Structure 1
Amino acid sequence: MKKWFAMFVVALMATMVLSACGEADGETGGSSSADGDDYEKVTIRLAYNLPQDHHVAVGIENFAKEIKEKSGGNVNIQVYPAGQLLSDKDMNQSILSGGVEMGVNSSTLWASTVPAMGIFDVPYVFNDYSAVGEAVNGEFGDKLRGAMEEKGAKVLMFADYGYVQFANNKRQLKSPEDFKGLKIRSIGDLPSELIQAYGASPVFMGGGEVYMALQRNTVDGATSGTTAMLQRKYEEVTKYLTINNYAYLEFLLAVNKDFYDKLPEKTQKLIEEVAADTEKWIREQAEKEDAESAKALEEKGMDVYVVPQEDLEEWIEAAAPVRDVFVKNAGELGQELLDMVDKK
């Protein structure tokens, strides 16, 4: 009996020691599952309109997955991809009104709410990939984030889509003169101004409508990134691709600010840390995807023309009126952002 009692005491003491060790681990970080138990349960809806295999979409899907895993399933981001919940035209208002908590949409479409976001559509502002990353992670990006928050949306991530080009059915666009008489699908106000400056007629439509419009000759061409052109099979409905890197398109992962401000600080910190890592990954993919998708379109039969560096000045001069329109729309902040970029 005494032997049994002694064994019981030893077992009890061992259990207490293990329990204390577990508690200590929890205080110093412990396992991810233990940490996850500390997060308040919340479900966050996130919508986007890009094809699911686009590199921005892949990054966003991984962002949601990682947050769920690191929170032990307590912070559940429900993703609605490829326009299942909202079109790109309806996305921003839904975020601002709280109809959806999070959404991914282009800086071009956000420019109708925050005109300074049109900076990414001002032709030939960013001449390389690294310049964009430096800008959005510095004072330039802070000013844009502040302008968005004033409207009720917090920017969690600048997701690099890549450079924007022109595709069409009529002829190779070797100079701005070649645009005359064409109807070109536009993605927003400033791209429409550029299309007009080059002598063509802009036709605004969402990404999902373009293939049919090109197939039916409703438009002669379209402006988009080569990644989306490839995924939306532009090679089946257009012949010519002109690469002139006229604009660098950003997509924003934005969240309703009132909703976000009510989340626990720990949840906010997790979301922001994962967003920062995801933003870096997406930026690394953009240059690679641009090059690979342009090559793939050429291999699939498109006639690809890369505007020589020495000819770009003609394109830049013809696009000059677009800068004036941007400053008129975006005011003092717009001019300030242009000055910051021009000094680089």
Structure 2
Amino acid sequence: MTKIFRRTLLAALSVAAITASVPAAAQDFKPRIIRFGYGLVEDSNAGRAARFFGQEVEKASGGKMKVRAIGNAALGSDVQMQQALIGGAQEMMSGSTATLVGITKEMALWDTPFLFNNAKEADVVLDGPVGQKVMDKLQEKGLVGLVYWENGFRNLTNSKRPIAKVEDMDGVKLRVMQNNVFLESFKSLGANAVPLPFSELFSALETKTVDGQENPYNTILSSKFYEVQKYLTVTNHVYSPWILLVSKKWWDGLSKVEQKVLLDAAKKSRDFERQDTRAEAGRALAELKQKGMLINELSPAEAGRMREKLMAVHTSIAAGVGQDLWKETQDELAKIRAAK
């Protein structure tokens, strides 16, 4: 090898090394403003996680990709934002999986009453093959799911009376999500189930259009439902995930590097959001009590009666999502429980 050739080769390698060390932000990103919508107020677990996600995206893209987090349903209800994503008019959102059932039937799996016994079971299933399989179905409908966040175990509130037994549900006008599984579940329990967007819920409770609702402690607190609801019953009847969604139309126009930045930031935000949500849940329950809500816990016997009344709903969900997916989920849960 001649000296001239060797020097040329070394120079070329040096240039390659320098180029490789230049941050991806300088090479692979276009300036982008990402509108990220969510339903809760800014000072909520969803709001904090949205801000965290945005910081991670901006940092990893060298400031080229900026997330504009917009809360309080300012961009519309979950359903409206989903349609905006599908049409490419909005880039991202986080929202309830329950509002996606009309788009992707497999999402109804997460609405199964008493599916998970605890958050650890939910994490393993949602982050594993079953959760990914359900999320992947969204791409056929114009959406890309990145990760599942946690909303939490749902509990009942109302302004009429404590719910100490199943019969106490009779005649209670209960707001539920716009989702047939929730409608059928609460009708089975005797409630008068009324589907409403979350953005209309506080007003409906305040005007007594509905008597009650069901949500995790964090949401009950951050949405100030304690101002218009007297009774809170600890039921933990459904574990409720949120999902981070991207417009497929927009996603397909991103570079692989940009997609990776979003996915990596989403995974970090998932871990942050779950930890934050769980830490807040205990504090939220105590604060709701301090704010005057009367709190009671459904007894194990009554919870068992509730489960029995909902078995027909389980059968319906299994048929709707497909027996193979249902069996895979139950097998995974059995494996988790056997490992304890």
TM-score by length of 2: 0.88
Residue 77 (structure 2) aligns with: 87
Query: 1:341, CA displacement in angstroms?
Result: 4.9
Query: 1:26, CA displacement in angstroms?
Result: 5.4
Query: 1:86, CA displacement in angstroms?
Result: 2.3
| 2:304 equivalent to 1:313 | yes
The equivalences for 1:113-192 within 5 A come to 113-187=103-177, 188-192=179-183
2:191 to 200, 205, 211: 200
Distance 1:217 1:269 in 2: 47
| 2:26 equivalent to 1:40 | no
Distance 1:216 1:264 in 2: 49
Residue 16 (structure 1) aligns with: none
Query: 1:286, CA displacement in angstroms?
Result: 2.5
1:284 to 275, 282, 306: 275
Residue 238 (structure 1) aligns with: 229
1:330 to 308, 321, 326: 321
Query: 1:97, CA displacement in angstroms?
Result: 1.6
Amino acid at match of 1:38: Q
Distance 1:332 1:148 in 2: 19
CA offsets 1:165-195 (integer angstroms, 9 cap, x no match): 1101111111211101111011132121111
Query: 1:308, CA displacement in angstroms?
Result: 3.2
Residue 296 (structure 1) aligns with: 287
Residue 50 (structure 2) aligns with: 60
Superposition RMSD on alpha carbons, in Å?
2.1
Q: Which secondary structure state, in structure 1, belongs to the residue aligned with residue 34 of structure 2? A: strand
Q: Is the 8 A contact 1:326 1:334 kept in 2?
A: no
Q: Which secondary structure state, in structure 2, belongs to the residue aligned with residue 293 of structure 1? A: helix
Q: Which secondary structure state, in structure 1, belongs to the residue aligned with residue 157 of structure 2? A: strand
Q: Is the 8 A contact 1:64 1:79 kept in 2?
A: yes
| 2:250 equivalent to 1:251 | no
Cα 1:333–1:147 shift into 2, 3 Å = farther
Q: Is the 8 A contact 2:75 2:81 kept in 1?
A: no
Query: 1:67, CA displacement in angstroms?
Result: 0.9
Structure 1 runs, 4 residues or longer, greater than 3 Å off: 20-26, 308-311
Amino acid at match of 1:37: A
Distance 1:105 1:48 in 2: 6
Q: Which secondary structure state, in structure 2, belongs to the residue aligned with residue 37 of structure 1? A: helix
Q: Is the 8 A contact 1:37 1:72 kept in 2?
A: yes
Residue 223 (structure 1) aligns with: 214
Q: Is the 8 A contact 1:195 1:201 kept in 2?
A: yes
Cα 1:120–1:164 shift into 2, 3 Å = same
Distance 1:23 1:51 in 2: 48
Distance 1:290 1:283 in 2: 11
Residue 20 (structure 2) aligns with: 27
Query: 1:78, CA displacement in angstroms?
Result: 2.5
Q: Is the 8 A contact 1:116 1:333 kept in 2?
A: no
Amino acid at match of 1:124: F
Q: Is the 8 A contact 2:166 2:302 kept in 1?
A: no
CA offsets 1:208-241 (integer angstroms, 9 cap, x no match): 3222222221111111122111112111111110
Query: 1:154, CA displacement in angstroms?
Result: 1.2
Residue 8 (structure 2) aligns with: none
Residue 11 (structure 1) aligns with: none
Identity, in percent, stands at 25
Q: Is the 8 A contact 1:88 1:105 kept in 2?
A: yes
Amino acid at match of 1:179: M
CA offsets 1:75-112 (integer angstroms, 9 cap, x no match): 22222222222222312111112121212121000111
| 2:36 equivalent to 1:49 | no
CA offsets 1:1-49 (integer angstroms, 9 cap, x no match): xxxxxxxxxxxxxxxxxxx999856534x6xxx4422232133222222
